[in-house]
């Protein structure tokens, strides 16, 4: 339909307009696509086996053969970085998906229903947020056991309050709008109104939160591994690589720490910048 195309092209136009005024968002988006591409195709990209040690070649500085140098066991740091991207992004993405799905559904229903359930869930979320969240994640992993699924669960739980609150607030302001009542007059049940009508309308605004949280979840996963509560060596992981490399920094072997640190920083930065950019794109005041 021609009008539908017109609608889409005006959205594209709007995105381009915002990107022109804010090129950092475009750069961040490219960076994230690059990181995801590396993560997906890691097994085919890595020039060396990321866990195979080659002791004679240990602690080599960056060179043409080893772009990011080698570590204390002679493993290629670039290969390990790429393999680690796969793991870290997977942990972050799964954790954020879990907390988004659960948080949006719970928050959406609470915001729509209101009443006692809403108050109880609200207080529970408040209690959750009163903990220092990283310490809570540490405690959860320590209690549940040091496995990847538990890292994902812990990260998901500490992200949950943001989505619950956000979905609750956004659904709450919309629940009395005409089109919500109209949907019910069209024969939708309460559950369908929340899941198929209200939450999709809240989704764009939540995309901002998702982007910001992804960066945070990566940092969280790496942080857990750094203090030894996350993924265990020899699995390539940014946090472990920084932790192990830190021992060699005093002897001038900077590349062991610098490259994983840089990878971590750039990924988190890109997600945060994209979040800011998305906020601008979705801000209705920008749409005049």
Partner 1 sequence: MTAPLLQIEDLHVSFSTRHGLVEALSGVDLSLDAGQTLGLVGESGSGKSVTSLAVMRLLDRAGRITGGRVLFRGRDITRAGNSDLRQLRGAAMSMIFQNPRAALNPIRTVQDQIVDVLRAHRRIGGREARSTALDLLRAVRIRDPEQRLSAYPGELSGGMCQRVMIAMAIACEPSLLIADEPTTGLDVTTQKVVMDLLAGLTTERGMAMVLITHDLGLAARYCGAIAVMERGLVVEQGETATLFRKARHPYTKRLIAASPTRNSTLADLAQGAPPPAAAAVRRPAGTGALLEVQHVVKTFSGVAAVDDVSFRLAPGGSLGLVGESGSGKTTLSRMICRLIDADRGDILFLGQSIGAVPAREFHRSPHRREIQIVFQDPNDSLNPRFAAFDCIAHPLRRLEGMRDGAALNDRVREAASRAGLPDDLLGRYPHQLSGGQKARVGIARAIAPRPKLLVLDEPTAALDVSIQAVILQLLDRLRREDDIALLFVSHDLNVVRMLCDQMVVLQQGRVVEAGDSRSVFEHPQAAYTCALLDAIPAFRSAGTPGPGGADRRMTCGAGSAVGRLSATPR
Q: Interface with partner 1 by CB under 8 A: which residues?
A: 1-4, 7, 17, 177-179, 181-190, 197, 200-201, 288
Smallest gap, in angstroms, from Cβ of residue 42 to partner 1?
A: 37
Nearest CB to partner 1, comparing residues 176 and 251: 176
Look up residue 31 and give its two tokens.
């960076």
What SS3 state is found at 43?
helix
Alpha-carbon distance of 200 to 180, in angstroms, equals 12
Nearest CB to partner 1, comparing residues 187 and 252: 187
Nearest CB to partner 1, comparing residues 5 and 143: 5
Alpha-carbon distance of 52 to 74, in angstroms, equals 8
Smallest gap, in angstroms, from Cβ of residue 12 to partner 1?
A: 14
**Cα atoms in the Cβ-side hemisphere of radius 13 Å centred on 111:** 26
Dihedral (CA of 176, 179, 182, 187) sign: negative
Nearest CB to partner 1, comparing residues 64 and 185: 185
Please name the residues in contact with 59: beta carbons below 8 A apart, sequence gap of 6 or more. 69, 70, 71, 72, 74, 248, 253, 256
Smallest gap, in angstroms, from Cβ of residue 3 to partner 1?
A: 3
Smallest gap, in angstroms, from Cβ of residue 83 to partner 1?
A: 40
Angle at 39 between CA 31 and CA 153, to 5 degrees: 105
Alpha-carbon distance of 258 to 46, in angstroms, equals 19
Please name the residues in contact with 254: beta carbons below 8 A apart, sequence gap of 6 or more. none
Smallest gap, in angstroms, from Cβ of residue 103 to partner 1?
A: 21
Q: Give the residue among 189, 221, 190, 240 at the shortest CA–CA distance from 80.
A: 240
Nearest CB to partner 1, comparing residues 147 and 190: 190
Smallest gap, in angstroms, from Cβ of residue 205 to partner 1?
A: 12
Nearest CB to partner 1, comparing residues 1 and 143: 1
């Amino acid at each position: 339909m021609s009008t539908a195309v017109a609608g889409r092209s005006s959205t594209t136009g709007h995105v381009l307009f915002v990107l022109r005024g804010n090129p950092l968002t475009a750069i961040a988006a490219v960076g994230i696509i690059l990181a995801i591409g590396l993560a997906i195709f890691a097994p085919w990209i890595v020039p060396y086996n990321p866990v195979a040690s080659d002791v004679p070649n240990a602690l080599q500085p960056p060179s043409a053969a080893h772009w990011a140098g080698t570590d204390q066991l002679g493993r290629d740091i670039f290969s390990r970085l790429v393999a680690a991207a796969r793991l870290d992004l997977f942990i972050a993405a799964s954790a954020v998906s879990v907390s988004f799905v659960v948080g949006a559904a719970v928050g959406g229903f609470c915001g729509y229903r209101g009443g006692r359930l809403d108050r109880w869930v609200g207080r529970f979320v408040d209690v959750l947020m009163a903990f220092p969240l990283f310490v809570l994640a540490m405690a959860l992993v320590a209690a549940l056991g040091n496995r990847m699924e538990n890292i994902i669960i812990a990260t998901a739980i500490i992200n949950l309050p943001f989505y619950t609150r956000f979905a609750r607030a956004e659904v709450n302001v919309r629940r009395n709008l005409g089109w919500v009542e109209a949907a019910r007059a069209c024969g939708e049940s309460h559950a369908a109104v929340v899941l198929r009508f209200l939450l999709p309308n809240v989704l764009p605004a939540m995309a901002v939160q998702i982007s910001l949280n992804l960066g945070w979840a990566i940092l969280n996963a790496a942080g857990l591994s750094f203090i030894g509560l996350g993924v265990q060596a020899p699995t390539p992981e940014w946090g472990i690589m920084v932790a192990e490399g830190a021992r060699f920094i005093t002897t001038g072997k900077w590349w062991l720490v610098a490259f994983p640190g840089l990878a971590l920083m750039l990924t988190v930065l890109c997600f945060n910048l994209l979040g800011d950019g998305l906020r601008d794109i979705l801000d209705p005041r920008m749409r005049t």
